[in-house]
Amino acid sequence: MSSATAPDADTPIEKLTLVEAVCDGLYTEMSRDDSVVVLGEDVGKNGGVFRATAGLYEEFGDERVIDTPLAEAGIVGSAIGLALSGMRPVAEMQFMGFIYPAFDQLVSHAARLRSRSHGQYSVPMVVRAPYGGGIHAPEHHSESKEAFFVHEPGLKVVSPSTPYDAKGLLIASLRDPDPVIFLEPKLIYRAFKQAVPTGEYEVPLSDASVRREGSDISVYTWGAMTRPTLIAADNLADEHGVDVEVVDLRTLSPLDIDTIVESFKKTGRAAVVHEAPKTGGLGAEISSTIQEEALLHQEAPIKRITGFDTPMPLHAIEDFYLPQAVRIQEGILETVQF
């Protein structure tokens, strides 16, 4: 991380959950930049269904924290227009499973206005969406569809796994000249607290983070899956003496290929853990990239430990759908023992 984006050394620290850090990131940037506005369903008076915008309406008023009609295409389409006018909109999709009406606006316009206009226009906006399973939510509330957006040139896709990163990545996203899909792992919205500087700082949208150093295998993951992956890594160290390196990608598009490949060259073995279905998931992209860049270092097939190729089930059996530590351990062992 460059020093220009790091917080001041003497900045006060608060212990925040991930969702509080998102809110703090919005607060920090809205305080600094009047052009930042938040819009979406229930983001105002109600403070967001997950409280991600709690207190912002009271602080900044109804012209900057805007309850819109219930219409995702309207929210994202109007956010594109707001961005074109010189505002910095943060559009909230209440759940990722409800983003589809806005898909056309995102892929046909937000993603490509820069290229369509030969560089004349850009769409600097952030679309936030809670995503992922594990909270016993109703149907359509637990999807992980990051691959749809990673597949779309022109969009950046981000998913934090810690409160510190959530704030820093969100501020970086808000300052980014291109549209960013900011995916918030709601399973860990309140799972733990972490020291977060109250002032401004950025976590750049270019760097993966090595969460655990290891020498036997590189495991790539992001968002809510980072925790069970770290648990699996600790278990494997204790029970099998396997030394796992865990790489939290943080930004899914563009990928930090250098960090991915560098880690793989060290270990020669890899697994990818994600909640989304296996087929066409980001695991395939990472696996192919490694083979293109470091084939001669490869000592075993690259394992994908993912959601199954099924719809996200209703919650009674969602724990069987999601990659649990037990599945992650098994997949890692298989790769290490190959």
Partner 1 sequence: MSAQKELDQQDTSSPVTIAEQPVQVLDADGNVCPNATLPDLSDETLVSMYEDIKLARRFDERAISLQRQGRIATYAPMTGQEGAQVATSYALDEQDWLFPTYREHAAKYVHGVQLASLLKPLRGIRDGYAVPDGVNVMPEYIPIATQVPQAMGMAWGHKLQGKADHAVLCHLGDGATSEGDFHEGLNFAGVFDVPAVFVCNNNQWAISVPRERQTASETIAQKAQSYGIEGVRVDGLDPLAMYQVTNEALNKAKAPAAGERRPTLIEAVLYRFGAHTTADDPSAYRDEDEANEWKAKDPVDRFGKFLYKQGLLDERLEAEMDARIEATISDAIEAAEQAESDPNQLFEYVYDEMPDRLREQRAELDALREKYGDGAFDGVLE
Catalytic positions, written as ranges: 141
Question: Considering the complex, what minimum distance in angstroms separates the CB of residue 127 from partner 1?
Answer: 17
- Residue 71 sits in the site that holds partner 1 (CB under 8 A): yes
326 counts as binding partner 1 under rule CB under 8 A: yes
Give the interface size with partner 1 as a residue count (CB under 8 A): 53
Is residue 192 at the binding interface for partner 1, with CB under 8 A as the rule? no
Measured CA to CA, the distance from residue 62 to residue 66 in angstroms comes to 5
5 is a contact residue toward partner 1 (CB under 8 A): no
CA-CA-CA-CA torsion sign (186, 192, 198, 199): negative
Cβ at position 225, least distance to partner 1 in Å = 9
- Interaction of residue 81 with partner 1, rule CB under 8 A: no
Q: How far is the CB of 330 from partner 1 (least distance, A)?
A: 6
Rg (CA), the chain: 20
Q: Where are the alpha helices (DSSP H) in the chain?
A: 18-32, 56-60, 72-84, 103-104, 113-116, 146-150, 163-175, 226-240, 257-267, 282-294, 318-321, 325-336
The secondary structure of residue 40, as a DSSP letter, is: E
Q: What type of residue is 185?
A: P
243-282 positions binding partner 1, by CB under 8 A: 278-279
Please identify, using beta-carbon distances, which residue of 81 and 268 lies nearer to partner 1.
81
Tell me the window of 97-105, 149-157, 206-214, 245-253 that interacts with partner 1 (CB under 8 A). Answer: 97-105
Strand order in the sheet with 36-40: 65-67, 36-40, 88-92, 126-131, 180-185, 156-158, 251-253
In the stretch 27-46, what mask flags binding to partner 1 with x, by CB under 8 A? --------------xx-xxx
Q: How far is it, in rounded angstroms, from Cα 144 to Cα 212?
A: 24
Which residue of 322, 332, 333, 336 would you call a contact of partner 1, by CB under 8 A? 322
Q: Return the residues of window 99-138 that contact partner 1 according to CB under 8 A.
A: 100-101, 134, 136-138
Q: How far is it, in rounded angstroms, from Cα 99 to Cα 58?
A: 27
Cα 135 from Cα 145, distance rounded (Å): 17
The residues that touch partner 1, with contacts defined as CB under 8 A, are 41-42, 44-47, 49, 67-74, 97-98, 100-101, 134, 136-141, 187, 191, 224, 227-228, 231, 278-279, 308-311, 313-322, 324-327, 330
